[in-house]
Amino acid sequence: QVLSFVIPTELQRMTQKVLHRLFHTRSCLFVVLHLALQAAVYGEYTWEVFGYCWELGIPIPLLLLPFLLLPVNAGCFVLCSRANPGIITKSNHASLIKIYAYDAVLFQKGIMCPTCNMEKPARSKHCGLCNTCVHRFDHHCVWVNNCIGAFNTKYFLLYLLTLAGMAASIALITAVFFIQVVLLSNMMHGSYIDEQGQERGMEILFLVQHLFLTFPRIVFMLGFVILLTLVLGAYCCFSLYLALTNQTSNEWYKWRRVGCAPHVASQPQDGGVIYKNIYSNGIWMNLKEIFKPATVLGKKKR
């Protein structure tokens, strides 16, 4: 009985330590995982799908699209992970605190950061993982191992868009390959013998099973990149919505937590409380603020 109590307790402590290490401290584990998955997908695409598609006569520009997006994505990844997101220091605090006004709803004047011992500028937040306050804080991204703030949001958006484009292009090309295989082999007009020994016409489920047995790694890769495309596509749409409305993920979450919704007009609607988003200045100006922030920090991080 003592052992049965001690062992689960120790496992629980070890699990908590692992989770704390992964999600509550800066770690390169997710960066390595992300790069390994990307290398695996591109390796399978290069050595399997590309060669088959070449033989089937699929247009070369389409086949090369994932390779053209790869260096752009890699460049945005490096810039996003290495760029200063907007770390607030004592030397730049006075200038950054003047950029955004306090809306008196999400951001109150006079609130001090107990860790940095400085007044929090509007739209800033202290990141517990990086142990710094970040100007126009959006979120901490484990995949790039860096905060997303005022000065690297543009790189993050481009990184997301190119990553989704890479996944979508590989999924499209792989799907075209399977369609070509099915059409050229005339599988849809074939038949098979079921477990009862009866001849049946080709069914979609049997066709998928046949393709999986013939091209197991390619089918698995296709399922993975389709799922990735859907997830990344949804996240890209959400990130673009935030950019066009001049919100951050942190602010969006805060609006939901306080039970309010940001709106261009401060008028009650259907009995709900709606506050004006004072940071939104129209789509064009909101995008300009993302790609050309109001100020530039020094290169050195503190």
CB of 42 closer than 8 Å to CB of 73: no
What is the set of active-site residues? 141
DSSP output for 34-101: HHHHHHHHHHHIIIIIHHHHHHHT--HHHHHHHHHHHHHHHHHHHHHHHS---B--TTTHHHHTTTS-
CA separation for the pair 138, 153 (Å, rounded): 8
Instruction: Say how many residues make up the chain.
Output: 302
Token couple for 72: 């752009």
Cα 81 off chain centre by? 13
Structure tokens of 245? Answer: 């409305």
The pair of structure tokens assigned to 113 is: 């950061």
Nearest-angstrom CA–CA distance, 111 and 102: 11
Q: Which residues pair with 147 in a beta bridge?
A: 140
